[in-house]
Structure 1
Amino acid sequence: MMLPLAAAMTLACVSPWQPDLGDGRYRNPVLYADYSDPDVVRVGDDYWLTASSFSCVPGLPLLHSRDLVNWTLAAHALPRLVPEEAFASPQPGKGVWAPAIRHHAGRFWIYYPDPDFGLYVITAADPRGPWSAPVLVQAGRGLIDPCPLWDEDGRVYLVHAWAKSRAGINNVLTLLRLDAGGTRVEEDLGVIVDGHALPDYSTLEGPKFYRRDGWYYIFAPAGGVKTGWQSVFRARDVRGPYEARIVLAQGSTAINGPHQGALVDTPKGEWWFVHFQDLDAYGRVVHLEPVVWREGWPVIGSDPDGDGRGEPVLTHRKPTLPPEPRATPPTSDAFDSPTLGLQWQWPANPREGWFSLTDRPGALRLHPQAAVAPLSLAPYLLLQKFPAPTFVVTTRLELPSPGLGQRAGLIVAGEKSAWMGLQRSANGVEIVRGGDPAESPAVVSTAPAATGAIFIRVTVREHGCCEFSFSSDGHTFSPLGGLFTAVPGRWIGAKVGLFNDATNVSVAGPADFAWFRVEPLP
């Protein structure tokens, strides 16, 4: 019996992670999800955040907040990756790296890098879109992490870093001068910050460019994703020389590698810093830190010894902004809309006919795709980010027509994956717990299926420990197969989602998912 839709979605409004404590304080992370390399801009009373998306499609998420704590997912700025042909299949670790978002001359601007092609820019009057097609500002391999600055004299500058894997160099920041339109390089001003000249610096990258009180500031992380820190460089001249100071590090906290993000202010003059922390399978989650200025330098987070080098806060009072209702990015989906929810992404540019929300009203229909091994590299996986340290995902799957060699189900995907679902073989319909720890997908365990419909669940506990289970009635669930520890993908966290494939697509049928429910771990 199918669980009634109202009952199935009752808990959908309960987020598995809530940063707003409801008493005027918040807890970090404010986004317990993989919004890597975040950048934020304030326009009036609104804050807009974008992040790296690598080869996930759509790319460049746009999140909105009015208090820097409660965030909603409003849009994506990049509906498909370019060049199109380069992303017809998953390209782990490639695609959209650290972007910068700014507002200038009545428009929103996002500069983003693709380390294999160069630096791009897109613009929009409204961050919800439509966004312009990407313009290649500077072609080249290894150019990453661009950030613009419109100076008071009308000149436009762009600072960027380098990826050693493509360019053979890194740990330096380069300055370009652009034309007035911000789309073409007029002058290469060379290296303005050299990490090799600084003690113990490595992997200097992710610069963000600001001007305040007659100083040029470059906020840039160094030391590596998992163990690094946040540095700030300042100069009176845009070309330097720049002084250096470390302003945020792990200190006595458990927040490893706190760095790479955005400096923002409030209408009342408060300052805040948004940055990420790498949490392996959970990706790069987003923290919010208070900022005070001391002798022309920012002090980020808590500074118990007063040395100017802050450390992350676990809880803090919220910014002094009008109260906002609690909000988090979407997770659950009733599949009752004509379009997919904003939380869903593909690992590559999707093709026509992969799915339908109208073939069977009130359900997501995934059409069968030719099976790819390992499954973790399949382009047709419909995925979303892990939303919390612990959570439960449940869905109802039905295979309405026969199809030998077909399998469909619920998957946890990273560089390795595990899944549970239905498989049609010579033995009939089986419940299968599978995975791809080796070069080809492997069946871990099977159980007989009474019908072509099943409830599937994955329970994710601390440290990404996943247990799959199934049910015929939606109430009593039985585990199948052993535990699976989620692992990240290439520069991204693990994801959870749905799939339908077959060894022979011509004889396979669709897979219908009635809903997708994400709720807190009891």
Structure 2
Amino acid sequence: MSDLGNGTFQNPVLDADYSDPDVCRVGDDFYMTSSSFNAIPGLQILHSKDLVNWKIIGYAIDRLPPYDHFSKPQHGNGVWAPSIRYHKGEFFIYWGDPDFGIYMVKTKNPAGRWEAPVLVMEGKGLIDSCPFWDEDGQAYMVHGWAGSRAGIKSILSLNRMNPEGTKVLDEGVMVFDGHDAHPTVEGPKLYKRNGYYYIFAPAGGVATGWQLILRSKNIYGPYEEKIVLEQGKTPVNGPHQGAWVDTKSGEDWFLHFQDKEAYGRVMHLQPMKWVNDWPVMGEDPDGDGKGHPVMTYKKPNVGKSYAVVTPQESDEFTSPTLGLQWQWHANPKATWAFTTNKGNLRLFTDQMPQGGKNLWDVPNLLLQKFPGEAFTVTTKLKFTPNPKLENERTGLVVMGLDYGFVSVVSKKDGLYLTYNTTQKADKGTAEKEQILGKLSGSEVHFRVQVSKGGQCQFSYSEEGQNFKDAGGPFTATVGKWIGAKVGIFALREEKTNDSGYADFDWFRITK
């Protein structure tokens, strides 16, 4: 919990994997989005009244284009470092897909439906895009480059756009080259203040970088440069990449991420002030303009106090729609999951992809972010396999490059409980399976307790009271550019015209 209830907060304000966050303010409301990569629905939208308490209110895309391409897991691809802006009554989100180009979606209601994505600029290696509308009506877009696709990185480019922001009008101009002093400069955000154009850009790499500010009286530069936020002697490694926002009361704040390995990139909030037309973020102990992250601070002055809220976690499956915390590993098929009028979620088993070696290749994993460093997940399910099939399976999984799960699997002579683990799943490693015993009925409770350091202990219970450990502890790991996730799945090996199903009664997270 970030809100300490006494007018102060502690960092991180979001202790979950909201990487590359961007925020805009409209009136009294703050709206945030972040990188969602291949997870769908993508571009989750979070809302806050005070920059400390956040809740998921929707998402901007329910399918990733090109739709066939993202029908199978594309780990680490898809939505990179988005930006969210409000312009002439509409919300715009731009993001770079490193394989296809820069897309834009827009809406008048960020909690509602967003329009279909528009490809603003086609090309490989185009990432980390941010639009900007100047006072004279001219529209621009600044972006970075992915070395893995473009063969070049650490530079920022600026393109002119049409006023609607739907397409670029030129080949672009390089406005900054970070090769000399700021390697891996990326994630640019473009602002204007006091006659200066500012590019806020992270540099130095995800885990250990710093926040760079560029400024110029001309949007094309040349730009002066200054480092305004770095780790210093704090425990917050690589404090960079994010959003400058102000409050109605005139305060300035900066939101950025910190890479916490298996827990992903969590979001911090820093006080910010302007000194000689340069921003200073966090605390500046020696007065050199290079701030260091704060761990606790007084909450932003937004005129009143708001209730403590956190992003959704548990789900009782009593609503006609899935909770907004859930994401699939690829563009979903309608047959994977059904909310019901019986207060449960029905997952039908889907066939393992042809050539699939383990869960890394499986699209129908229904997952959510780790909600903190230590927590417990418990879920109750009833499994009804197809009597004509064997080896249908459903379970509770912690997913990453290494993964572990507890499951129920159907055999000729009944249902069996298993504990499975895989290391380096992205390399096609086969699972190690441990048979835990035979299930006497068809219902089971599965649990995983996650402790600091990503240590996961799975367990199971037939009656929901006495839980038995499933194997030894398993250590959660990162996925591709994301933190570990936890969730549920239902799989089969064979092709058939009907399948078994698992009814999940609820999915509860306690801390």
Residues 1:467 and 2:439 aligned together = no
Match of 2:480 in 1: 490
What is the distance in 2 between the residues matched to 1:253 and 1:70? 23
Amino acid at match of 1:135: V
Q: CA deviation at 1:137?
A: 0.9
Among 118, 138, 141, the residue aligned to 2:121: 138
Aligned with residue 187 of structure 1, among 150, 170, 180: 170
**1-side partners of 2:172 and 2:437: how far apart?**
65
SS of corresponding position for 2:77:
coil
Give the distance between the partners of 1:487 and 1:501, measured in 2 at CA.
23
Contact 1:418 1:435 in 2 (8 A): yes
Separation in 2 of the partners of 1:189 and 1:361?
55
- Pairwise CA RMSD: 1.2
Question: Paired residue for 1:329?
Answer: 311
Deviation string 1:115-151 (CA, Å, 9 cap, x unpaired) is 1000111111111122111111110000100111111
Q: Which position in structure 1 is the counterpart of 2:395?
A: 409
- Do the aligned residues in 2 keep the contact of 1:19 with 1:30 (CA within 8 Å)? yes
User: Match for 1:56 among 36, 39, 43?
Assistant: 39
Correspondence list, 1:120-269, <5 A = 120-196=103-179, 198-199=180-181, 201-269=182-250
Deviations 1:161-218 (A, max 9, x none): 000000000000000011111112122341101102x42x210000000000110000
1:444 alignment partner in structure 2: 434
1:407 to partner: Cα distance: 1.2
| Structure 1 residue 21 corresponds to structure 2 residue 21 | no
Is this contact kept in 2: 1:456–1:469, CA < 8 A? Answer: yes
Say if 1:35 and 1:285, in contact at 8 Å, map to a contact too. Answer: yes
Query: Equivalents in 2 of 1:444, 1:248: separation in Å?
Result: 48
With structure 2 as the length reference, what TM-score do the two structures score?
0.96
Q: Distance in 2 between matches of 1:212 and 1:307?
A: 22
Stretches of structure 1 lacking an aligned partner (at least 5 in a row): 1-17
Name 1:419's counterpart in structure 2: 405
How far apart, CA to CA, are the structure 2 residues paired with 1:439 and 1:284? 26
What is the distance in 2 between the residues matched to 1:377 and 1:496? 16
| Greater shift in the superposed pair: 213-222 or 122-131 | 122-131
What's the counterpart of residue 34 of structure 1?
Answer: 17
Amino acid in structure 1 at the alignment position of 2:328: W
Q: Aligned AA for 1:377? A: D
Counterpart in the other structure of 2:274: 293
Please tell me whether residue 383 in structure 1 is matched to residue 383 in structure 2.
no
1:354 aligns with 2:336: yes
- The superposition leaves residues 50-87 of structure 1 with CA deviations (integer Å, 9 ceiling, x where unpaired) of 11100000001100001000000000001110010110
The one-letter code of the counterpart of 1:309 is K
Looking at structure 2, the residues matched to 61 and 27 of structure 1 have their Cα atoms a distance apart, in angstroms, of 23
Match of 1:515 in 2: 506
Q: How far apart in 1 are the matches of 2:492 and 2:61?
A: 30
Query: Residue 169 of structure 2 aligns to a residue in which SS?
Result: strand
8 Å CA contact 1:414–1:495 kept in 2: the answer is yes
Report SS of the residue matched to 2:80. coil
Q: CA offset at residue 97 of structure 1? A: 0.3
Distance 2:408 2:447 in 1: 13
What amino acid sits opposite 1:367 in the alignment?
F
Q: Deviations along 1:279-312, whole A, 9 cap, x unmatched?
A: 1111111000000111111110111111110111
Q: Which protein, 1 or 2, shows the higher relative CO under an 8 Å CA cutoff with sep ≥ 6?
A: 1
* SS in structure 2 at match of 1:310: coil
Q: How far, CA to CA, are the matches of 1:211 and 1:101 in structure 2?
A: 16
Q: Offset at 1:377?
A: 2.5
Give yes or no for contact 1:405–1:508 (8 Å, CA) kept in 2.
no
Q: 1:304 matched to which residue of 2?
A: 285
Contact 1:445 1:481 in 2 (8 A): no
Identity of aligned residues (%): 51
Q: CA deviation at 1:440?
A: 2.4
Shift of the alpha carbon at 1:473?
1.9
1:121 partner letter: M
SS of residue in 2 equivalent to 1:188: coil
- Give how far 1:27 is off: 0.7
Between 39-48 and 507-516, report the one with greater CA deviation. Answer: 507-516
Match of 1:112 among 76, 95, 107: 95
SS at 1:99 equivalent: strand
**Counterpart residue identity of residue 79, structure 2:** V
Instruction: Output one character per residue of 1:377-427: Cα deviation in whole Å (capped at 9) or x when no partner.
Output: 210111000001000000012113445211111000112211002112245
Task: Provide the secondary structure at the position in 2 that maps to 1:316.
Answer: strand
Q: How many Å separate the matches in 2 of 1:277 and 1:377?
A: 28
Q: CA deviation at 1:32?
A: 0.8
Encode CA deviations 1:437-459: one digit per residue, 9 max, x unaligned: 36223313422222111111000
In 1, Cα distance between equivalents of 2:430 and 2:205:
33
TM-score (norm 1): 0.94
Is 2:377 the partner of 1:393?
A: yes
Contact 1:376 1:417 in 2 (8 A): no
In 2, are the aligned partners of 1:189 and 1:239 still within 8 Å (CA)?
Answer: no
CA contact (8 A) 1:282 1:493 kept: yes
Gaps spanning 5+ residues in structure 2: where? none
Equivalent residue, structure 2, for 1:500: 490
1:508 Cα shift?
A: 4.6
| 2:256 alignment partner, one of 266, 275, 282 | 275
Partners of 2:76 and 2:364 in 1: how far apart? 18
Rounded Cα–Cα distance in structure 2 between residues aligned with 1:99 and 1:108: 13
Match of 1:7 in 2: none
CA contact (8 A) 2:416 2:435 kept: no
Which deviates more, 469-478 or 484-493?
Answer: 469-478
